[in-house]
Structure 1
Amino acid sequence: MPDHARGLLIALGGVLLISFDALLVRLAAAPHWDIIFWRGWLICLTLLAWMLLSGHRLRLPPAAGDRWLILGAVLMLSGNTTLFVLSVSHTAAANTVVILAASPFFAALFSWLFLEEAVPLRTWVAILVAVSGVLIVFGGGVGGATSSGDFYALLLALFVGGQLTILRRYPTIPRLPLIAISGAVAGLMALPFATPLSLTPQTYLVVGVMGIAQMPLAMVMMAVATRYLPSPEVSLCLLLETVLGPIWVWWVLSEAVPSLTLIGGGLILATVAVHAWLALREEKT
């Protein structure tokens, strides 16, 4: 299988798993900090156990500058969940998601600036069209006022683009140890604000699914995809989460999906499909 096709399948599989995140958080019915605490530590412990069984080890580059970049990627990975929660708490959810949709722009910019990767015209066009689809999905929910929540969302978009670019630069660095460490960091950040031993059995069950199965596998797949795909393309695939997330919530909890979500979602799905087809055809040529 060509590298691009393999990377695309891995990235889309990771996005599919991530898209269940909103539904699972809703089913957990617990304070955000408690969810962050348990999910972070469960991700860490699950991946550490797998590393012991599979023989994965953390191998850092010899240069000090490269090690600092890897540390930056770990901090970005751990900060994503926290920044998302902070943004939603301080601004409209539509603002958060629309600003987060800028992450492909940052990934493309960082790849061009720091990795000297030429970003194909089709990728720039696909990013613009897909972001237009996100704007359609959340049209009418975006306010013009600037707030701290908007700043958190912008920082989150920077983190997503930055971490994908750093991982793209170091394709041979094992991903599992980095994600395991990022889970521990997220759990430590949530500790001062969480009451992790006061949850219901249902919450523990749902958080267990998130921390042991869903999020570790999704994060690993998204990180591994950067070995085969440029970071802008991996980030572009993440836009599918804005479509699939509401669909799962509607399916399980019977929350209606607005018509704009169907229109914008169709545009995003078509854009990613056409972009993938063009990329595969170009690689075969």
Structure 2
Amino acid sequence: MSAHQQGLLFAFFGALVLSFDAMLIRLADTSEWQVLFWRGGLIAIAFGILTWLFKQRIVYPSQPHLWFAIFAIALMYGLNTTLFVYAVSHTSTANTVVILASSPLFAALFSRLFLQERLALRTLLTIAVAFVGVVSIVYQSLGSGHLNGDLAALALAISMGAVLTALRCFASLPLFPIIALSGVVAAVLALLNIEVAPLDIRWQQAQWLLIMGAIQIPLATWLLMSATRLLPSAEVSLFLLIETVFGPVWVWLAVNEAVPENTLFGGTLILGAISLNSVITLVKQKNRTS
């Protein structure tokens, strides 16, 4: 099996495992702050163990400003985890994952603003079409009680775009310690807001949280990190759309949560624009190397 074929398998299964994220939150059936505490704590433990296991391969920076970057990115990652759990808890799964799918477009904007990277015309058109899709999804939530969740998903997409840009700028930073620290940030934020004892949950709830924090998130992260080393970013971003498509399906099968009508329209715009842009980018990259 070639390295490219291995990358395809890693990307497919990584995105597929990641797509169960929202379903596990729904099945846990507890407050967002309890979910966040367990999710953050287990991620911190899991990636702390991975950091220790791979300590011989991890290269830590010697410059102080790179250590600042590690803590800043970990803080943003922790906030992203918080926003995701809050969004899933306060709006539909479909709204959350479809709006989140626009994060690569925000990353492109941030790369233009801060890294002075040129944006192709097709990327600008993709951003414009995706923006219409996001607005149509958020608009349907006005007065529905889901607006806060949709806005949290939008904030998550923007913040994730910032994280992707920061990781691109500081590509040499070790990811396992960053993700472990982000879990600590999320758990601390949960403790500051939780109104009940974080361990005061039933075993039926705890088992879903254990699966999510100790198995699903670490496995998906490892698979996708492996894929990014073997495939172009445009190709990996196409596979990430698996979460956007299948995430709402798993939740519908598990708890019979329907997809809002406007989300189908907005999601079609966002996914169609991103897919087309990624395919064109991928074709151009392959033509250059052939």
**Do they superpose with TM above 0.5?**
yes
- CA change 1:274–1:86 in 2 (3 A) is closer
Match of 2:27 in 1: 27
Matched AA of 2:27: L
Mapping for residues 89-128 of structure 1, pairs under 5 Å: 100=100, 103-128=103-128
CA shift for structure 1 position 84: 3.8
Q: Is the 8 A contact 2:98 2:267 kept in 1?
A: no
Mapping for residues 27-66 of structure 1, pairs under 5 Å: 27-55=27-55, 59-66=59-66
Match of 1:16 in 2: 16
* Cα distance in 1 for residues equivalent to 2:245 and 2:173: 32
SS at match of 1:195: coil
- CA change 1:55–1:70 in 2 (3 A) is closer
Q: Aligned residue pairs: how many?
A: 281
CA shift for structure 1 position 50: 2.6
After superposition, give the CA deviation of every residue in 1:183-210 in whole Å (9 maximum; x if it has no partner).
1221122124252221111111100110
Matched AA of 1:278: I
* Cα distance in 1 for residues equivalent to 2:144 and 2:200: 39
Q: Is the 8 A contact 1:38 1:207 kept in 2?
A: yes
Match of 2:159 in 1: 159
Q: Point out where structure 1 has 5 or more consecutive residues left out of the alignment.
A: none
CA shift for structure 1 position 212: 1.0
Percent identical residues: 44
- CA change 1:129–1:135 in 2 (3 A) is same
* Cα distance in 2 for residues equivalent to 1:144 and 1:31: 20
Matched AA of 1:202: Q
- CA change 1:11–1:267 in 2 (3 A) is farther
Match of 2:281 in 1: 279
Determine if the alignment matches structure 1 residue 175 to structure 2 residue 175. yes
Q: Which moved more, 1:56-65 or 1:275-284?
A: 56-65
Q: Which moved more, 1:51-60 or 1:40-49?
A: 51-60
SS at match of 2:198: coil
* Cα distance in 2 for residues equivalent to 1:6 and 1:127: 31
C-alpha RMSD over aligned residues: 3.9
SS at match of 1:171: coil
CA shift for structure 1 position 247: 1.4
Q: Which moved more, 1:77-86 or 1:234-243?
A: 234-243
Q: Is the 8 A contact 1:56 1:176 kept in 2?
A: no
- CA change 1:177–1:224 in 2 (3 A) is farther
Q: Which moved more, 1:135-144 or 1:104-113?
A: 135-144
Q: Is the 8 A contact 1:39 1:187 kept in 2?
A: yes
Determine if the alignment matches structure 1 residue 72 to structure 2 residue 59. no
* Cα distance in 1 for residues equivalent to 2:54 and 2:46: 12
Match of 2:129 in 1: 129
